[in-house]
Structure formats: C-alpha cells, structure tokens
Amino acid sequence: MISVLIPAYNENPVELCKKIEAHSRDIRGFEILIGDDYSDKPIETLLEGSGLSMTRVIRNPENLGYNLNRNMLARNAKNEVLLFLDADVMPLKSTFIYFYYREFERSVTQYVCGGLEYPGRPEDPDLMLKWKHGKEREVVSPELRMQNPGRSITTSNLAVRRSVFLENTFLEKKTGYGYNDTIYGLLIETKGLQIKHIYNPVVHEGLIPAMELIQRSEQAAKNLKFLSDEDEYSALLTQIKLFSAYQKLRLAGLIPLVRGLLSKREQRLKDSLLSSNPNLKHYDQLRLLYLLRAMKE
C-alpha cells in the first residue's frame, strides 16, 4: 500500500531505510525507493551488505534536481500511497509508517503531512543557526499548521495518494533551492485538494553549518525570483512573508533605501548569525537583502 520515496544527492540514507524497514515488515507490498540524483559515489554501493530487502535505488543518468527527482520516483512507485521523505531525517516513533497506513486505509485522504521535530541543542556553535531556526520556525503543531494547510506543507515528510500526485506533480523544471515546498502546497490548496496535518513527525538530523545555510538562503532568494517569473506561481507568492515584504517596499518606493541600509549592515548581520547565539531577526533581514538583490537582477 505504501511506497517510501527518498530523493538523495551525495547523502547516505541507509540508516533511515533500516529503521523504516524494521517498522514495516507486516505491511503488504511495502517498498522504499531511493532516487540517486547522480551522486559522486553511487548510493547503490552504500547498500551493499546492509541487509535491506525492501529497498531499491534508481540512479539518474544526470542530475535532475530535487523536484524532477521526486517526480521520477513517483512514476516508478508501485503502491497507492506515496510517502516522500528527505534523506537526512529519521522517524520519531516506531509507529511512524503505521500512522500513515491508518490514515489512508480508513478515509479518502489525499495529502497528509506529519510535521518536523529537531534534535536536542547541538554542542557545535556552528550548527546553532540552523537548529534555532528549525526549532522556532519549522516545528509547528498540527493545529497551527491546519490554519494555513497549503503554506505549511513540508515535503520532507509528506504522504499523498499516487493517483492524485501524478495529476499534480512538482514543477517539471529544474528549479533551485528554496520555496518549492511552499509553492507546491499553495498550488494544490488553490485546486481544492484536501490537505490534512497530523503529529507524526520526523526528526531533521541534517543540521548544516551557519555559513552554508546563509549561502543556501541566497540561492533561495534567486529561486524565489525564478518562481516569480512563472505565470502559474507568481500570484501565489503574496502568501510568502518574505515576498510580501518585498512587495510592500516596492509599492512604497522604498526598495533602494532599504537595500542600501541592509547592504551597509550585511557583515554585522552575518557576524551575528555565525555566533553561538544567532538572532533570527538578523537572519530575516539578511534574507530580505538577498531577495532585494535578486529581484533587481
């Protein structure tokens, strides 16, 4: 009934697959598919001697990008329910797969999002920015997520009926990093598709250094600019807080002023974010600066 789909690039999802398999022995037809997006070292080699019996790897002949890789996995899955997971997460409970099985077995559910948790405070101060942002911005109760069901979707832990997904795939273009989840959630919400949020979380174990997160944030701003140029998605961007802030500044004619002020503060903002006690307001300001620059290009 369930196909677990894990897109991966230069990652090792073996321990994740072992844990999922151990909790899914009694589910008929269960499978795990890993989409190796042309990693430097084929992920298939990591499975050798792992004892995984319900997991197989599909290696792309070239790097497709996150969205196209997930679409490829969906088309190759054999089961009715697709469960998308990132390669750097781990189910919080042993009942993780069963909860999704129960949700789809007893109703006509279309989408179910289980949510995220983060591990305990890291000892390495270089990981504090990602951890603090995750704990304060990404860990949200099902009740609060249901207030904005589309905008709250996280595809690192998302289940969907295969028939529904194949009619509503991720953007069939090689997009960059950032905002793909949000745009996809908003799009399916506008189509009237049912989105349910529950507490069945995965723990995001893939904390990254602060400078890498800052660099990804700059990439995300450029991807937001790319998405704003797509007619199908541009109208949805007003529901993204960062883009909404940009629009308000544009209407007020304040973009040159704010961009200049933030540019002068850029190094101070980065210094704050690279410290052991990063300020998330400074992170928001830096992200806004990156967007203002991206929209100018």
64 and 6 in one domain?
A: yes
Q: Are residues 109 and 130 both part of a single domain?
A: yes
Mind listing the pLDDT tens digit for each residue in 83-142? Answer: 999 999 999 999 999 999 999 988 788 999 999 999 999 999 999 999 999 999 999 999
Nearest residue to 185 (alpha-carbon basis) of 176, 175, 196, 174: 196
Taking only the tens place, the pLDDT of each residue in 112-123 is 999 999 999 999
Quick check: 235 pLDDT over 90?
Answer: no
Q: How far is CA 159 from the centre of its chain?
A: 13
Residue that is last in its domain, among 154, 174, 208: 208
**Terminal-to-terminal C-alpha distance of the chain:** 47
pLDDT digits (tens, 9 = 90+) for 161-205: 999 999 999 988 767 889 999 999 999 999 999 999 999 999 999
Q: What percent of the chain has pLDDT over 70?
A: 99
What's the pLDDT score for residue 272? 98
Strands, E assignment, the chain: 2-8, 31-36, 55-59, 81-85, 89-91, 111-113, 116-117, 157-161, 195-197, 202-204
DSSP structural state of residue 79: S
How far apart are the C-alpha atoms of 263 and 288, rounded to whole Å?
Answer: 11
Residue 12: give its domain's CATH number.
3.90.550.10
Q: Are residues 255 and 165 in the same domain?
A: no
Whole domain around residue 252: which residue ranges?
A: 211-296
Closest residue by Cα to residue 38 from 16, 17, 18, 68: 68
Residue 278 sits in the same domain as residue 217: yes
pLDDT recorded at residue 126: 98
Domain count within the chain: 2
215 and 166 in a single domain? The answer is no
Average pLDDT on 276-287 reads 98
pLDDT in tens, 141-150: 999 999 999 9
Residue 110: other Cβ atoms inside 10 A? 19
Rounded Cα distance between 171 and 173, Å, is 5
Local structure of residue 3 (DSSP, 8 states): E
Mean pLDDT of the chain: 95
Domain limit, last residue, from 159, 181, 208: 208
User: Cα separation of 54 and 33, whole Å?
Assistant: 9
Tokens 């129960």, residue? 102
